[in-house]
Structure 1
C-alpha cells in the first residue's frame, strides 16, 4: 500500500473536520443508559419505575427532543420535571437529539 501524499491527507482532514463526532459517533442506546434515562424510564423505555413517568419508546423524535430541551432550560417546570432537570445538565444538545431519534425507532 502506497503512503498518502500530503495533499491527500490535507483533503481527508478537511473533509472530516466538520463531521459530528460526539453524540452521533456514540450509540444512542448506550447514551440512554449512560445518561441514566434507564433508571426511571426502564431498560426498554416502556416500563417506567412509576406510572406517572412517561413511556418513551415510540415517542415522536421532535417531541421527545423538545421536551428534553424545555426541561433543561426550565421552560417546562412542574413537579415531575424536578428530577430530570438535575440530570439534563449532563446531556448535551447532540446527545438529546441522538436519544430522541433512537427512542422514536422503538416500538
Structure 2
C-alpha cells in the first residue's frame, strides 16, 4: 500500500511540474498572438499551441524559420522564427506540448 501512495505522489508531482513549468524566455513573443500557455489566440486565424504534438511544433517552427512554410500568416511567422535557435525551438515545443 505504501508503494501505491509513493507512486501516486510521483505521478502528481510529474503532472504538477509540467503544468506549472516556467515558460521559456522567448515565449512572451508567442504569447502576444497565441495567448497565455498558447491556449487563447487573439484572432481565430491563429492556432492554439497548447497540447500540440512536440514533434509537430519543432517541425513547423523550423519550416517557418527556413522560409519553406508559405501561406496564411507565414510572413509574420517566418520573421518571428528566424530569431529562434534550435534550443529555443526545442524549449518552446516542449513547453507548449505540455500545456493543456
What 5-or-longer segments of structure 2 have no aligned partner?
Answer: 1-21
Number of positions where the alignment pairs a residue of Structure 1 with one of Structure 2: 79
Deviation of 1:97 (Å):
0.8
Distance 1:68 1:98 in 2: 12
Distance 1:29 1:94 in 2: 10
Greater helix fraction, Structure 1 or Structure 2: 2
1:80 aligned residue (64, 73, 87):
73
Runs (4+) of structure 1 exceeding 3 A deviation are 27-30
Q: Structure 1 length normalisation: TM-score?
A: 0.68
Deviations 1:8-53 (CA, angstroms, capped at 9, x unpaired): xxxxxxxxxxxxxxxxxxx5443311xx101110122111011011
Deviation of 1:54 (Å):
0.4
CA RMSD, Structure 1 to Structure 2 (Å): 1.3
Q: Which residue of 2 aligns with 1:53?
A: 46
Q: Which residue of 1 aligns with 2:26?
A: 31
Q: Which has the larger radius of gyration?
A: 1
